[in-house]
Amino acid sequence: MRKSSKYNEAIRNLSPEQYRVTQQNDTEAPGTGEYLDNKEPGIYVDLVSGRCSPRPTNLTPGAGGPASPSPLNLRMSTNRDTTHGMIRTEVRSADADSHLGHVFPDGPRDRGGLRYCINSASLRFIHRDGMEAEGYGAYLNQVEDVQ
Protein backbone atom coordinates (compact mmCIF):
# COMPACT_ATOMS: atom_id res chain seq x y z
CA MET A 1 0.00 0.00 0.00
CA ARG A 2 1.32 3.45 -0.88
CA LYS A 3 1.13 6.00 1.90
CA SER A 4 -1.10 8.97 1.37
CA SER A 5 0.66 12.31 1.01
CA LYS A 6 -1.38 13.57 3.96
CA TYR A 7 0.94 11.56 6.22
CA ASN A 8 4.21 12.81 4.71
CA GLU A 9 4.62 15.63 7.26
CA ALA A 10 4.01 13.27 10.18
CA ILE A 11 6.57 10.84 8.76
CA ARG A 12 9.15 13.63 8.29
CA ASN A 13 8.74 14.59 11.97
CA LEU A 14 9.41 11.10 13.37
CA SER A 15 12.46 10.50 15.54
CA PRO A 16 14.97 7.98 14.14
CA GLU A 17 13.55 5.24 16.40
CA GLN A 18 9.94 6.07 15.50
CA TYR A 19 10.86 5.96 11.81
CA ARG A 20 12.71 2.66 12.20
CA VAL A 21 9.70 1.07 13.93
CA THR A 22 6.80 2.53 11.94
CA GLN A 23 8.34 2.78 8.47
CA GLN A 24 10.96 0.03 8.47
CA ASN A 25 8.92 -2.58 10.37
CA ASP A 26 11.30 -2.88 13.30
CA THR A 27 10.44 -3.61 16.93
CA GLU A 28 11.58 -1.92 20.11
CA ALA A 29 13.86 -3.93 22.37
CA PRO A 30 11.90 -5.75 25.10
CA GLY A 31 11.29 -3.63 28.16
CA THR A 32 12.41 -0.35 26.59
CA GLY A 33 9.17 1.22 25.38
CA GLU A 34 8.37 4.71 26.62
CA TYR A 35 4.85 3.68 27.64
CA LEU A 36 5.65 0.27 29.10
CA ASP A 37 4.96 1.35 32.69
CA ASN A 38 2.46 4.11 31.93
CA LYS A 39 -0.43 3.93 34.40
CA GLU A 40 -1.93 7.33 33.58
CA PRO A 41 -5.50 7.54 32.25
CA GLY A 42 -5.75 8.52 28.60
CA ILE A 43 -5.53 7.24 25.05
CA TYR A 44 -2.83 6.16 22.64
CA VAL A 45 -2.83 7.74 19.21
CA ASP A 46 -1.28 6.16 16.11
CA LEU A 47 1.73 8.42 15.69
CA VAL A 48 1.39 8.79 11.91
CA SER A 49 -2.37 8.78 11.25
CA GLY A 50 -3.63 10.27 14.52
CA ARG A 51 -6.24 7.54 14.94
CA CYS A 52 -6.75 6.68 18.58
CA SER A 53 -7.04 3.74 20.88
CA PRO A 54 -8.32 3.96 24.45
CA ARG A 55 -5.68 3.02 26.99
CA PRO A 56 -5.01 -0.71 27.19
CA THR A 57 -6.12 -2.23 30.47
CA ASN A 58 -2.96 -4.26 31.03
CA LEU A 59 0.71 -4.17 30.19
CA THR A 60 2.89 -7.16 29.40
CA PRO A 61 6.31 -7.19 31.07
CA GLY A 62 9.09 -7.61 28.53
CA ALA A 63 7.13 -6.19 25.62
CA GLY A 64 8.42 -3.09 23.86
CA GLY A 65 5.16 -1.28 24.39
CA PRO A 66 1.69 -1.60 25.80
CA ALA A 67 -0.15 -4.88 25.37
CA SER A 68 -3.89 -5.04 25.28
CA PRO A 69 -6.54 -7.68 24.79
CA SER A 70 -8.31 -5.30 22.42
CA PRO A 71 -6.99 -2.30 20.44
CA LEU A 72 -10.24 -0.34 20.60
CA ASN A 73 -10.87 2.20 17.84
CA LEU A 74 -7.49 1.69 16.20
CA ARG A 75 -8.02 0.91 12.51
CA MET A 76 -5.64 -1.91 11.74
CA SER A 77 -4.74 -4.45 9.13
CA THR A 78 -2.77 -7.64 9.74
CA ASN A 79 -0.12 -9.51 7.78
CA ARG A 80 1.76 -12.75 8.21
CA ASP A 81 5.29 -11.97 9.46
CA THR A 82 7.96 -14.66 9.11
CA THR A 83 10.98 -12.53 10.05
CA HIS A 84 13.38 -13.40 12.88
CA GLY A 85 12.74 -17.15 12.50
CA MET A 86 9.16 -16.87 13.82
CA ILE A 87 5.67 -16.89 12.43
CA ARG A 88 3.76 -13.93 13.84
CA THR A 89 0.88 -11.71 12.87
CA GLU A 90 1.99 -8.14 12.20
CA VAL A 91 -0.38 -5.27 13.02
CA ARG A 92 -0.31 -2.23 10.72
CA SER A 93 -2.17 1.05 10.70
CA ALA A 94 -4.97 0.70 8.15
CA ASP A 95 -4.88 4.45 7.52
CA ALA A 96 -1.15 5.23 7.33
CA ASP A 97 0.17 1.68 6.67
CA SER A 98 2.69 2.05 9.51
CA HIS A 99 4.01 -0.93 11.47
CA LEU A 100 2.42 -0.87 14.94
CA GLY A 101 3.42 -4.21 16.46
CA HIS A 102 2.16 -7.79 16.59
CA VAL A 103 -0.84 -9.77 17.83
CA PHE A 104 -0.49 -13.09 19.65
CA PRO A 105 -3.08 -15.80 20.45
CA ASP A 106 -2.22 -16.00 24.17
CA GLY A 107 -4.45 -13.23 25.49
CA PRO A 108 -7.28 -13.50 28.01
CA ARG A 109 -9.84 -16.09 26.83
CA ASP A 110 -12.72 -14.04 28.24
CA ARG A 111 -11.70 -11.18 25.91
CA GLY A 112 -11.27 -13.14 22.71
CA GLY A 113 -7.90 -14.75 23.37
CA LEU A 114 -5.78 -12.19 21.53
CA ARG A 115 -2.99 -10.02 22.95
CA TYR A 116 -1.87 -6.99 20.95
CA CYS A 117 1.73 -5.86 21.58
CA ILE A 118 2.05 -2.41 20.12
CA ASN A 119 5.38 -0.56 20.06
CA SER A 120 5.54 2.61 22.13
CA ALA A 121 7.52 4.17 19.26
CA SER A 122 4.43 3.86 17.03
CA LEU A 123 2.18 5.70 19.49
CA ARG A 124 1.64 9.05 21.17
CA PHE A 125 -0.06 9.13 24.57
CA ILE A 126 -2.65 11.80 25.34
CA HIS A 127 -3.54 12.15 29.02
CA ARG A 128 -7.24 12.25 29.86
CA ASP A 129 -6.89 15.90 30.96
CA GLY A 130 -5.77 16.94 27.44
CA MET A 131 -8.07 14.81 25.32
CA GLU A 132 -10.79 17.42 24.82
CA ALA A 133 -8.32 20.12 23.78
CA GLU A 134 -6.63 17.77 21.28
CA GLY A 135 -9.92 16.75 19.64
CA TYR A 136 -10.40 13.35 21.30
CA GLY A 137 -13.18 14.30 23.73
CA ALA A 138 -15.54 11.73 22.20
CA TYR A 139 -13.36 8.99 23.74
CA LEU A 140 -13.41 10.30 27.32
CA ASN A 141 -16.13 7.83 28.35
CA GLN A 142 -13.87 4.92 27.31
CA VAL A 143 -10.87 5.89 29.45
CA GLU A 144 -10.39 3.75 32.52
CA ASP A 145 -8.19 4.32 35.55
CA VAL A 146 -5.41 1.74 35.61
CA GLN A 147 -4.32 0.12 38.86
Active site residues: 117
What Rg do the C-alpha atoms of the chain give, in angstroms? 14
Burial (CB < 10 A; 0-12, 13-18, 19+), residue 41, is middle
Of the candidates 125, 118, 113, the one whose C-alpha atom is nearest the C-alpha of residue 102 is 118
β-pair type (115-118, 42-46): unpaired
Amino acid symbol at 141? N
